[in-house]
Amino acid sequence: MLYINCPHCGMRSQNEFSYGGDASVKRPELNKEVSDQEWDNFVYNRKSLRGKHLELWQHISGCRQWIKVERDTATHEIFRTFKADEEVA
């Protein structure tokens, strides 16, 4: 079971969180013309990365904040975690 450092609450077990997918996906702006391809990339197309992956988790049984987690998908190593509005350098 992963041990995730919630930037708001500290180290918590994985069972307090729910997974939210790739954090690098940006929703196209509202009212903006988007091509089918762009929209498909936003809704469906995901890279199934092996290695370092920036992903979203929600601390659903805790502070309910969505956070970003930098995790290795192969080893489960967690490198860093960020608040939702924190820039990932």
Partner 1 sequence: MTQAFRIENGGLINRDKKLSFKFNGKTYLGYEGDTLASALLANGVHLVGRSFKYHRPRGFFGAGVDEPYAVVQLYRNGETEPNIKATEQELFEGLEAKSVNCWPSVNFDIGAINNFLKIFLPAGFYYKTFMWPKSFWYRIYEPFIRKAAGLGVASTKHDKERYEHKYEYCDLLIAGSGPSGLASAYAAAKNGAKVILAEDKPRFGGSLLTSDVNIGNQSGKDWADGIIAELKTMPNVVVKNRSQIFGYYDHNMLVMSEKVSDHLPSTKKYHPNKRLWYIRAKEVLISSGSIERPIVFGNNDTPGVMLSSAAKEYLKVYGVLVGRKPLIFTNNDSGYETAIEFKKHGVDPFLLDSRKKPESEIIDEAKNLGINIKNSYVVVAAQGYKKVKSADIANISEDKKQLGKIENIQCDCICVSGFWTPTIHLASQSGNKTKFKEEIDAFVPGQSKQNEITLGAANGVFSLEETLKTSFKAGSELSKKITENDNEIAIPNVVEKKSSQHDKFWCVPLPKGKNYKRFLDFQNDVSVSDIEIALREGYRSIEHVKRYTTLGMATDQGKTSNLNGLQLVSEIENKVVPAVGHTTFRPPYTPVSIGAIVGREVGKHSKPSRKSPMHSWHEKNNAVFVDAGVWLRPRYYKRGNENLFEGSKREAKNVRKNVGVCDVTTLGKIDIKGPDAAELLNRVYTNAWLKLPVGKARYGVMLREDGIVMDDGTTTRISENHYHMTTTTAQAANVLSHLEYYLQLVWPELNVNVVSTTEQWAGAAIAGPKSRDLLQKLFPNSDVSNDGLPFMGYMEGDLFGVKARIFRISFSGELAYEVNVESDYGNFMWEKIMEIGEEFNIQPYGTEALSTLRIEMGHVAGSELDGRTIPFDNALEGLVSKKKDFIGKRSLQRSAFIAEDRQRIVGVVPLDKQTSIPEGSHLVKDDKAQLPNPKLGHISASCWSVEYDNPFSLAILKDGKNMIGQKLFAMSPLKNKVIPVEIVSSHYVDPKGERVRS
Give the residues lining the site for partner 1 (CB under 8 A): 1-3, 13, 18, 20, 27-28, 30-31, 34, 39, 42-44, 56, 58, 60, 64-66, 75-76, 78, 84-85
Closest distance of CB 26 from partner 1, Å: 9
Report helix, strand or coil for 27. coil
Q: Are 65 and 84 in contact (CB under 8 A)?
A: yes
Residue 85: what are its φ and ψ, rounded to 5°?
Answer: -95, 5
The nearer residue to partner 1, 30 or 89, going by C-beta atoms, is 30
DSSP alpha helices (H): ranges in 1-89? 36-43
The nearer residue to partner 1, 26 or 47, going by C-beta atoms, is 26
Closest distance of CB 60 from partner 1, Å: 7
The nearer residue to partner 1, 18 or 52, going by C-beta atoms, is 18
CA distance 88 to 70: 9
